[in-house]
Structure formats: C-alpha cells, structure tokens
Structure 1
Amino acid sequence: MRKKRIHPWPVRLCHWVNLLVMIGMVMSGWGIYNADPIFNFTFPQNATLGGWLGGNIGWHLAVMWVLAANGLFYLLWGLFSGHFRQRFFPFTPASVWHDLVSALRFRLSHKSNQYNAVQKLMYVGVLLLGLLLVISGLSIWKPVQFSGLVYLMGGFTVARYVHFFAMSGIMLFVVVHVVMVLLVPKTLPGMITGGNAATKNAGESADD
C-alpha cells in the first residue's frame, strides 16, 4: 500500500491564488459596474476595490494578469498531467441526476479522492464560465482591438451582460462550494496539506 496526494501541489497552489485573485477581480469589477450600471442597482461602495473608477480599473487590470497566469498554468497542467480527464470525466445526465437526488436526500457518499457526477459537472461548468468571462472581458476592455470577439458576443452591450452573468455564475459556484465545505469540513485540510489517499501498489489485489 502506498500513499498518494488527494490534491497535488499545483491544484492547491492555483486554488488559493485563485481565491485571492477572484476577490480582487470581483470587488474591483463591482466598482467599474457602479460607474455605469446595466441594472437598477449598484454594489455598496465599501464592497468595491480602488476607491474611484480609475482605481477600480487599475486594480482590475493588475489582478487580471495574475488571474491569467494562474489560469493558464492550471489549464496546461490539468491537460498534460491528465488531471482533468481523471477528476472531471466521465459523467452523464443520468449520473448527475442520480447523484443530485442522493445529495438532496443526504444519502450521497463522499470519497476524498473522487468527485461525484454533480461535482464534475460544476467544475467543468465553472471552467467554461471562466473562459466566457475572459472572452467577454477582452471584448469590453479592447472593443476595437478585439472587434472579432465583440462581434462573437453580439455587440459591446451584450458582452457586458455576458460578463456580468458569467461572473455571477462563478460567484454562485463559490457559494455552493463554501456551503459544501461547511457541510463536509473534513475536506478543507486536504486542500491545505494535500491529504493522503491510499492506493494499491502494482500487483496488489483489490482485497489487499
């Protein structure tokens, strides 16, 4: 029997960097939104980052580069290491429905080194939302230079709506994620230390 990390160091590093970066992106983004709201509400000023529009934009762009580097590293590592294939796939509509019903009935078993179908769907979904957030964000930031992306988004105004709802979707994921951690707190230490999952040595039977 040998030990294997539940969460390899690249996952843990990107997770905690992403936490800090997303706080900065969201708070500065709320400040930018307040300068020209697309809905009939604004965010509290003390929940924004930057103090004024110029400061909001400055923080948003500065943190954006950290987010881009972190995201690119995670994407490349996840693809080439096989992490995405092993952790996020496969799943089917039937398996998602089965696990969702089991979770609502509090009958869904938790395995520290394996995601259930609902978790797989959520992680794949948040990655796609992140991609949509980047594309719409570039469309808003440089609408002339990225005119092709603006066209793909359906225009500058639509890109703003897409950006807002993609951000909201990611925030919803974060809320659900935090709730799940509170419900199963034993999962938190593993994201800090890596945790250990027992794996079989080559040649060992399943009953060893």
Structure 2
Amino acid sequence: MQAAPETTRAAPVAPQSSHPAWLRLAHWLNALAVLVMVTSGWRIYNASPLYEFNFPTSITLGGWLGGALQWHFAAMWMLVVVSLFYVLFNLFSGRLSRRFFPVSPKGFVHDLWSALRGRLGHDDISHYNHVQRVAYLFVMLDITVLVISGLVLWKSVQFPLLRELLGGYDSARHVHFIAMSLLVAFIAVHLVMVALVPKTLLAMIVGHKERA
C-alpha cells in the first residue's frame, strides 16, 4: 500500500503595511509644518490685511511680525523638503500610479454620492476611493501653488518669472491666501472623516497591516 502523497502547504504571506514608516513620518512632519505655517501666516496677514477682517491673535503664532516670519520660513523649508521626498518616493516607487490613479469624473461622482449617503466602504483603508484620490492630488497641487506664491511674496525681485505668471505681487497675495484657505478647508474635512472612521488615525500612527 502506497503512502498518501504529502500535501504541500503554501508559505504564509507576510503582512505588509499600507502605511509604512516613511509615509507616517512624512504625514506627521507635513501636518506640523502646515499647522505652523498657517497660524504664523495668519499673524503675518494681520500685519497687512488683504481683506476686511483680521484673524484673532489667540489662534496666530509668532507674537509679532518678526517672530511670525521666522516661524513661517522655518516651517516652509520643512514643508518643501518633506513634500519633495513624499512626491519623489511615490513617483519612483510606482506608488503614485497604484494608489492615486486612475481617476475619472464618473468614479468621483459615484464615490462622492456614496459617501454623502454613508454607503462608502472603509474595510480596506489601503485602497483610496476616487474622492480620496482627487482630494490628495488636489492637496499636492495646492501645496505647490502655496510654495510658488510664497516665493513671490518673499523674494519678488528674485523670482520675476513666477511673479509674472501669478499676475504680479498683489495678485500673488490673493493666490496665496486662497490656496491657504483651500488647504484649511481640506484639513477640516479630513478631520471630520477621521472622526467618522477612527481606525484611519490609528493606522497613521502605528501602521496598518494588510495581506499582500
């Protein structure tokens, strides 16, 4: 009597993190940089208001114009360096195309409508739906506009081409303010979504393991 053939078991697939350490570090460093830049930027704005209002000093950073400028420029370099690392790593690793594309108007409308009705699934947080893809791509573009317009406001003479592309110094102030406002609006919506799906916050702190 022949022995039954031994059953070959497949080797277990090691879990992979959908939020690796480099991503979590970049996220929190950029979050800190944006917080410092926004609050110090509000203090800088108050020194020469663009519109008919000022920001309450209690939510601004720097205490005075000189201090606010120092905080703003320090955070600016952090934001630029970390954002460049994030974009380049995503680009050359192929993560940008895997996680953020494809996007389509039809997919965006479908996922947005599902989200508004509370029917958008969040079982696999490593998968970005169309709304998330559009939102994150928008933030990348918005931060780029913030940096470019900020360079014009900081060194207008040294960046004449950028100044002209933005329609002049005064126009650059409006572009910078609008880009800042859109970024703050994104952060507000982002925080609401985190409150609705708390496990996304935990994943961004300690990582989230998914089977490959």
TM-score, shorter chain, exceeding 0.5: yes
1:174 to 182, 187, 195: 187
Instruction: Name the aligned partner's letter for residue 159 of structure 1.
Output: A
Confirm or deny: 8 A CA contact 1:95 1:117 kept in the other structure: yes
Corresponding residue for residue 159 of structure 1: 172
RMSD: 0.9
- Contact 1:139-1:156 at 8 Å conserved across structures: yes
Shift of 1:185: 0.6
Distance 2:97 2:118 in 1: 27
SS at match of 1:144: coil
- The answer for the alignment partner of 2:144 in structure 1 is 131
Which of 16, 36, 44 pairs up with 1:32? 44
Alignment partner of 1:78 is 2:78: no
Residue matched to 2:57: 45
Residue 106 (structure 2) aligns with = 94
1:197 aligned counterpart, secondary structure: strand
- Does residue 148 of structure 1 match 2:186? no
Cα distance in 2 between the residues matched to 1:177 and 1:82: 25
Write the letter of the residue equivalent to 1:108.
L
Letter in structure 2 aligned against 1:64: M
Identify which of 15, 18, 43 aligns with 2:30. Answer: 18
The AA in structure 2 aligned to 1:124 is L
Q: Secondary structure, in 3 states, of the residue corresponding to 1:86?
A: helix
Q: In 2, distance between residues paired with 1:100 and 1:34?
A: 36
* Residue ranges of structure 1 left out of the alignment (5+ in a row): 200-208
Structure 1 CA distance for aligned equivalents of residues 85 and 67 of structure 2? 28
Q: Match for 2:183: what amino acid? A: I
Encode CA deviations 1:69-125: one digit per residue, 9 max, x unaligned: 111111111111112111111110000000011111111111211010000000001
Give the Cα separation in 2 of the matches to 1:48 and 1:101: 36
1:125 is matched by which residue type in structure 2?
F
Counting matched residue pairs gives 199
3-state SS in 2 of match to 1:24: helix
Which amino acid in 2 is paired with 1:100?
L
Q: Secondary structure at the match of 2:49?
A: coil
Aligned residue in 1 for 2:9: none
Whether the aligned pair in 2 keeps the contact of 1:88 and 1:124 (CA below 8 Å) is yes
Give the stretch that moved more between structures: 125-134 or 71-80: 71-80
Q: Which amino acid aligns with 1:47?
A: I
Please report the TM-score for the alignment, with normalisation by the length of structure 1. 0.93
Equivalent of residue 116 in structure 1, options 121, 126, 129: 129
Q: How many angstroms does 1:2 deviate by?
A: 2.7
Q: Secondary structure at the match of 1:4?
A: strand
SS in 1 for 2:142: helix
C-alpha contact 1:112 1:197 (8 A) present in aligned 2: no
1:193 lines up with 2:206 in the alignment: yes
When the two structures are superposed, what TM-score results if normalisation uses the length of structure 2?
0.91
**Uncovered stretches (5+) of structure 2, i.e. residues with no partner:** 1-12
Q: What is the DSSP-based 3-state SS (H/G/I as helix, E as strand, rest coil) of the residue aligned with 1:159?
A: helix
